[in-house]
Amino acid sequence: MERRLLLASSNAGKLRELRELLVPLGWEALAPADVGLAGVSVVEGGRSYLENATLKAVAYLRASGLPALADDSGIEVDVLGGGPGVLSARFGGHRARSDHERCELLLRRMRGVPPTRRGARFRAVVVLALPGGRTVVREGSVEGRITPHPRGGSGFGYDPVFELPDGRTMAEVGGEKQRISHRARALSAMMEALEALDEPDTPDAGDRRPGR
């Protein structure tokens, strides 16, 4: 029997990726709009991915009564001291309202930085909030570097400017992203806990430690 899980996000790109990862595993992955919660707004004011993901997951659990899965993620650039990090979606403030504008702003900040110093990583923290107040946390990351120019037509966010060790940007890998991305790795680590929802007394269901 298909199991229902609420995805605590209004980001179309994230919803698409999460659904593609969960549906083959037997989950009915619901968007907030599917359960009448399109108007729910969560202020992501946390100082870490974990804080923001937990805020979202718990808010949607309380609003729906369904297990809720949320992620917070960002790009961390070495020469920017790990920034924009948790502020990735708000990088540039009102001056950068779209993914394209945020990528362009990042490239301007990186202008003149040699290839050997353009190291970066995508990082994601996924939080599963369960009825009864339990939460499960898992994390995933992928290493790479910032390109001089955007490349590729798939993905979203900073994908066109993030180059993997094999030379392709995340926007050039197509469907393979569902296996190698930071979000895919975090969600893969979460699968054991998701399967344990059928066994409510299992110890892992209440594990709040960051995953592998």
Omega of the bond prior to 67 within 30 degrees of 0, cis? Answer: no
For 55-71, the pLDDT digits (tens) are 999 999 999 999 999 99
201-211: average pLDDT = 43
Which of the residue ranges 25-29, 45-49, 192-196 would you say has the lowest mean pLDDT?
A: 192-196
Examine the pLDDT at 204 and tell me if it is beyond 70: no
Amino acid identity, residue 173? V
Q: Give residue-wise pLDDT tens across range 67-105.
A: 999 999 999 999 999 999 999 999 998 888 899 999 999
Contact 126, 70 (CB under 8 A): yes
Is pLDDT at 210 greater than 90 in this prediction? no
Q: What pLDDT score does 6 carry?
A: 95
Q: What is this structure's pTM?
A: 0.85
Residues 6+ apart with CB under 8 A from 118: 77, 78, 79, 110, 145, 146, 147
Kind and range of the H or E run holding 77: strand 68-77
> Do 67 and 6 contact (CB within 8 A), yes or no?
yes
CB neighbour list of residue 104: distance below 8 Å, 6 or more residues apart: 96
Known catalytic membership, residue 72: yes
Question: Residue 31 is encoded by which pair of tokens?
Answer: 């968007």
Give the confidence band of 199 by pLDDT, cuts at 50, 70, 90.
low
CA distances from 158 to 16, 27, 78, 85 (A): 16, 28, 15, 12
Q: Which is the catalytic residue, given 34, 71, 72, 198? A: 72
Nearest Cα to Cα of residue 61 among 2, 125, 134, 126: 134
- Rounded Cα–Cα distance for residues 68 and 65 (Å): 9
What is the pLDDT at residue 1? 45
Q: How far apart are alpha carbons 51 and 32 in whole angstroms?
A: 20
